[in-house]
A and B are shown apart, each in its own frame.
Chain A
Amino acid sequence: MKSFRFIQLATVLLLFTTAIKAGTRPTEKLYIESSRFAIPLIEKWASEYEKANPGIEIVLTGEKTSGEAADLSLVSFGKDGTFPASQPLFYTGRYALLPVTNEENPLLDAFNRKGLNSNRLKELFFEKDGLEIDSESAKEQKHDVIIYSGNNANSFSASFSAYFGHSPVELKGKKISGDDIFLIHAVQNDHVGVTFNNLSYLFDIETRKLKEGLALIPLDVRKEQREVLKQADMDQTIALLEREQIQLIPVLNFGFIYRNDNSQAQKFLTWILSEGQQYNKTYGFLPVEDKILAAQLKEIDNLAFTASTN
């Protein structure tokens, strides 16, 4: 008897679930491939878009079940510092890279009012073992550091190195295989560890503050800029980078490549470039620059038109 009841209950549950699903079955799926760093933002875009477009289900995956390529593929930066030019590409946001270290690193005390300039930054990451700082006593001191950088194809190592005129192979220190999020763990566990990463990994999305155990490495920037960075607040930092271009902080585009004849993908992209931009900052990214935004919207429009007429 007991087993019979169990079977009854299971059957009812199954029918109920099926009914619900049948009532809300989407008519179309959109597959999106992305590196981990952008997934929280893409999931937000996806959920908001689905609300406004109930007939669409957005799936974050590498491939469709049929084995075809994704409708949209995220690209943050080409391996050689260039985007692949063979397919249409649209920027949907910007990420910024900042150098950080363990908050207990002795070198933080050695910085005087000036921080790292361009030469010292390149020496630190690419050219020398250790870091020389002009300390308060005006005598150069050498500090041991261990640089951590990502080794994989999707790592920010490529974009960071290219921005400063080097190649990822030239990065000093230790390499990490795995997503760049693990660089944060490495530095948190090594008091002389130094790395660079994008804001969405460095800051806690909830508290809007730098993650525990980390400290931003002071940079040789203008006083007002330095004061903002010193706050280690994500929103203030993003606002600063939106207003001003700071040479020592790479701010780079990321976006999607898509297939020409996918109108749903175009619609989703149009939405991202209009409604979706408001969510960028929440997740640690900058919105697309205004002038690029307008041009891209127009471009998508043209593509949609030519697609519909073919």
Chain B
Amino acid sequence: MTNISHFFQNKPLFVSFLLFFSLSAIAQQTIRGTVVDRAKQPIPGVTVYVESTASGTITDVNGAFSLATEQPLPVILTITFLGFKTEEVYVYEANVPVNITLTEDVNYLDEVVVVGYGTAKKSRYTGSVAVVGARALEKLEITSIGKALQGTVPGLQSIATAGQPGSDASLFVRGIGSVNASTAPLYVVDGIPGANPNQISGKDIQSISILKDASASALYGSRGANGVIVITTKSGNLNAKPQVSLSASVGFTGRAVKDYEYLSPNEYYELQWEAIRNTRVDQGKTAAEAAQYATDYLVDGALKVNIYGPQYPKPVGTDGRLASGAIPLWNDDWGKAISRTGIRQQYDLSIAGGSAHTRYFFSGGYLNEEGWIRTSDFERFNFRTNIQSKVNQWFDIGANASLSSSYQKAPSQSDSSQGNFANFQRLISNIYPVYERNPDGSYALDENGNKKWDYGVWRPTTAASGVNILGNAEHAISGSKTEAALLSTNLNITFLQGLLLRTTASIDYRTGSSHAYSHSYYSTGVISEGAGTASRSASRTLNYTVNSFIDYTFNPNKSHSLNLLAGPEVYVNNTSSLSGSRTGFQVLGKTEPSAGSTSGTFFGSSDNYRLASWLSKVDYGYLDRYHLSASFRRDGSSRFSKESRWGNFWSVGTAWNLKKEDFLQDVRDIDNLNLRFSYGAQGNDNVGNYAYGGFYEIYNSLDLLGLLPSDLPTPNLKWETNLNFNVGVDISLFDNRLIAQLDLYNRQSKDLLFQRPLSPSTGYSGINANIGSLSNRGIDGQITATPVRNKYFNWDITLNFGHYTNRITKLPQEEILTGSIGQYGNTKKMVEGGSVYDFYIKEWAGVNPENGKATWYKDVVDESGNITGRTTTENQTEATPYFQGSSLPDLYGGLNNNLSFKGLELSFLLAYSIGGKIFDGDQPMIMHLGYAPGRNWSKEAITRWTPENRDTDFPRLSYVSDAWNTIPSTRFLYSATYARLKNLSLSYALPQKLVAGWNLTDIRLSLTGENILTFYEHKGLDPEQTVSGSTFYRYPAQKSYTLGVNVSF
């Protein structure tokens, strides 16, 4: 033993080494563990660090971490990840794995939302803002943003006026705020006001914030009166390895709402016979003579086509019945002929990530959507690069650039002409063949054995004689191209803690071009003189915005917080356009205007608009419980004269976080309670770029040119003003299982632009002036409930709703008639106390059972002009128009259901609108009485009046009656209540273990349907109309089914 001690005594270095080694081994320890969520799914990217030290790490793709520390045990590990509650664990033993379960942080009011010129925590924000996040957007197949928002935001009406691919919806935030100026909200994309959101891919969007009240949108001053929609695109994350995401979807499009039901060929021939017979009787012939005449005249005189073939030269006998054994030789359907199953494809690729100081997001995408009406398409390419970098402690810089190119083929679809694709099947009955037929019903082929379009030059004029829309379209061109570049750069300089300068410069550049061509040869077979027309147009728009703000945040202690923002902004818009056309194409197949021998029209113009502004905002918070905000903006707009150029816009708001009060802190069932109030003034300057100037018209009378004054100058013209009052509450209960947001608002629009009538002796009908006012008072809100929430299954339901009362409070005249529809005249009237869209039309009184004539109501008036009662009349000119309700709904919104079970997720969105009226402007065309031989005919004609069927609503048939039975009346006015299954989505995320085995992060399969069901009582009409409730001849809504796959790694 002694020798051993001597051994160690003689080897001090050895001893020291042993000791040091031992101590070193003890000093550094490695703590290992995993982080999962409540569903036991590993969470990558979680930050794990030892408190009060620099030792930290992040979890890997399996949620595992390994952290070395020299701190003596126990140490406190802090685990933090966005969207989850931060956890702390005391580690006493390093050799025991630390398993942590993170709980989702569903504190609704801690959510940070993008608002005007910045972001804010919802609990501190005094304004009314609704947010649609990336998760909700992922489930939608978005071609246009406005359509995608339908039913998702309380208080927002999204009305898609056409199903044409690439067309957008009209949006209204909290009612109709103007009559003659635009009511569209302002779009802001990554800080660029006025940008076109449909040039960006829906997959690039991180969130959409809808700013609804004064506190939220007053910072946008003269452009914020109709609400502001702020779109933020994705950016990467710091300290994140590159995440690649690839998505592909393929699907089919079709017609969302069935067309009207029409008479079959057999029914058509019989009823047309009856119409002819009735007219002959009315002309004094006997029943037998009239019947014989109708039998003889039906084919050769009226319809000009015999679908039953030469075997039945007079297919309908004198008894009015189809000859026994007569069967139609063809079964064409014009509605089906113009429609098809379109194909929708979308491919997107994105890469996002970041280093310690820089984050990036790159994306590229392609969309091709074929509409269900032939020759209607939309195709788009888009690219994006977003980079944000913290160069050093005081300097941040970033740039977002997006490029897009889209091409839309849109056949004529908005008027009553025979070139309107959407309307054509109503003009012509299915008894007429689409392709030329031989008398025996077989196709008549050309020399190459191909079918030939039947242009029907022999058809009656009431059956689109000489026109075959598909044949015309085959050789026609109608398309427009848009190319856009959105570039924005930002730089932030931090002078001191809390004091920084934020500067942004952005450019929105768009070019548009269109080309159209058609030639009558393809319908007539003859190149007549001057036939053929081709046109081209080009436009260029350049907008740029520059702003620079001082942003100062001051938190002297935990009780007080203050933020100030102030600075100038400049917005410039330049637009130029030209267009021209030529005719006289003697050579076929040459579609450029230069090939036309006769010069036609030529137009060119340019426009400028400038806005200069000073804006400022202050936010104050006390104890993180009481919040005050105020904003002020002064705008100078080039749209108004020097005297009226400048306007002031302001807002004040408060928010009170009641949950933080002592009396509520311990009320377990209430998780959050926040009260908000705001009041302020915003402007609407959408009145035309030169609204205040006097105008002349160029006048050409028999080649003598001159100038004609058309509008008087209005130097005092100014913008329309909105005064907005809002009271709101945000509440969440029962561990966030019930979350509600409710707002009451009163939006007063004044100084509305109208024409003040002038005496005719002035030479002018009126003069523009700010002389009207209206109000929108309403309530909007959203309730989200989570009936089931456990480890495996989650179910939440969201109902959002909006209701408003729109009332005109001041009009320059006693009444203004509006709502003119083609040849029908006005259908609406504005009066003080009424809404902007009150129907004012004649009231249908049904069919006179005695004689089968159409009748309407009229007032009975005594000698003094007092109304003493009502009666009916068969003379529509005597009928009295009445107010018949407004087109505006009583309640609108959406119901959203999300169910998830492990990796499977099912969601559906039902958009609804209750109340209001629609005028069906398409139905009158097919409700004729037989005086339009060959035009398509509604199935309702079966119920027409006959002496045996007197109790009906369809008048007696007649070949030559007046068309007044189809004047605008309540006969064609329907309830606008409907619901639409706007989105149904089923998706499945493959199990993590399987996916990880392929070195991927996520694979998700999805099946999505858009507009797949519509619940509406009046068949044939698409209930989603313009906000005015009147529509006709437009492209009906489209539904689609797509199958998609999304892969991330």
Chain A residues with CB under 8 Å of chain B are 2-3, 5-6, 127-128, 130, 132, 142, 148, 151-153, 168-169, 174-179, 182, 185-186
- Specify which of A132, A148, A152, A174 is in contact with B96 (CB 8 Å cutoff): A152
Given contacts A152-B98, A177-B31, A177-B98, 17 further A-B contacts (CB under 8 A): A2-B2, A6-B1, A6-B4, A132-B666, A148-B90, A151-B89, A169-B38, A169-B101, A175-B87, A175-B90, A176-B90, A176-B91, A177-B91, A178-B90, A178-B93, A182-B74, A186-B90
What secondary structure prevails in chain A residues at the interface with B? mixed
Residue B77 at the chain A interface, CB threshold 8 Å: yes
Q: Is B99 an interface residue (CB 8 A)?
A: yes
CA distance A2 to B7 in the complex (A): 12
Contact check, A128 vs B668: say whether CB atoms are below 8 A apart: yes
Any A CB within 8 A of the CB of B142: no
Distance from A298 Cβ to chain B, minimum over Cβ atoms (Å): 38
Residue B557, interface by CB 8 Å: no
Q: Does B759 contact A (CB under 8 A)?
A: no
A186 and B75 CA atoms in complex are apart in Å by: 12
Residue of A6, A152, A169, A177 ringed by the most chain B CB atoms within 10 A: A177
Q: Which residues of B contact A182 (CB under 8 A)?
A: 74, 90, 92-93
Closest to A178 in B: B92
Cβ-based interface call for B574 (8 A): no
Give Cα A197–Cα B2 distance, bound, in whole angstroms. Answer: 50
Q: Report chain A residues within 8 Å CB of B77.
A: 177
Q: In the complex the two chains form, what is the Cα distance from A148 to B92 in whole Å? A: 13
Most buried by A among B2, B33, B96: B96
Q: B555 interface residue, CB < 8 Å from A?
A: no
Q: Least Cβ distance of A103 to chain B in Å?
A: 21
State the Cβ distance, A253 to closest chain B Cβ, in Å: 24
Q: How far is the CB of B407 from chain A (nearest CB, A)?
A: 54
**Cβ-based interface call for B393 (8 A):** no
CB closest chain-A residue, reference B88: A174
Smallest Cβ distance from B123 to chain A, in angstroms?
18
Q: How far is the CA of A174 from the CA of B87 in the complex (A)?
A: 8
B residues less than 8 Å from A151 (CB atoms) = 89, 98-100
Q: Is the CB of B3 within 8 A of A179?
A: no
Contact among A6, A127, A132, A178 with B91 in the assembled complex (CB-CB below 8 Å): A178
Closest to B103 in A: A169
The contact sample of 17 A-B pairs, CB cut-off 8 A, is A2-B2, A2-B3, A3-B3, A142-B666, A148-B90, A151-B98, A151-B100, A152-B96, A169-B38, A176-B74, A176-B92, A177-B89, A177-B92, A178-B74, A179-B93, A182-B92, A182-B93
Q: In the complex the two chains form, what is the Cα distance from A194 to B101 in whole Å? A: 21
CA distance A5 to B1 in the complex (A): 10
Q: Is the CB of A175 within 8 A of B666?
A: no
Once the chains bind, are A153 and B668 in contact (CB under 8 Å)? no
Residue of A nearest to B92 (CB): A178
Smallest CB separation, A45 vs chain B (Å): 25
Q: Are the C-beta atoms of A177 and B33 separated by less than 8 Å?
A: yes
B420 to A: closest C-beta gap in Å: 62
8 Å CB interface, B66-81 against A: 74, 77
Bound-state CA distance A248–B74 (Å) is 31
**A6-B3 contact, Cβ under 8 Å, with A177-B77, A177-B90, A179-B93:** yes
For residue A185, give the distance in angstroms from its CB to the closest CB of chain B: 8
A75 to chain B, nearest CB (A): 18
- Complex Cα distance, B76 from A186, in Å, reads 12
Partner of A179, one of B31, B87, B96: B96
A53 vs B648: C-alpha distance in the bound complex, in angstroms? 98
Among candidates B38, B89, B99, residue contacting A176 with C-beta atoms closer than 8 Å: B89
Q: Which of A6, A128, A176, A177 contacts B666 (CB 8 A)?
A: A128
- Min C-beta distance of B426 to chain A, whole Å: 63
Chain B contacts of A127 at CB under 8 A? Answer: 668
With known contacts A132-B666, A151-B100, A169-B103, A175–B3 Cβ distance under 8 A? no
Report how far A185 CA is from B98 CA in the complex, Å. 19
Residue of B nearest to A169 (CB): B101
Cβ–Cβ < 8 Å partners of B2 in chain A: 2
Residues of A within 8 A of B1 (CB): 6
In the complex, are the beta carbons of B3 and A177 less than 8 A apart? no
Question: Given the complex, which residues of A lie within 8 Å of B96, measured CB to CB?
Answer: 152, 177-179
Question: Taking the nearest CB of chain A, how far is it from the CB of B81, in angstroms?
Answer: 15
Q: How far is the CB of B213 from chain A (nearest CB, A)?
A: 34
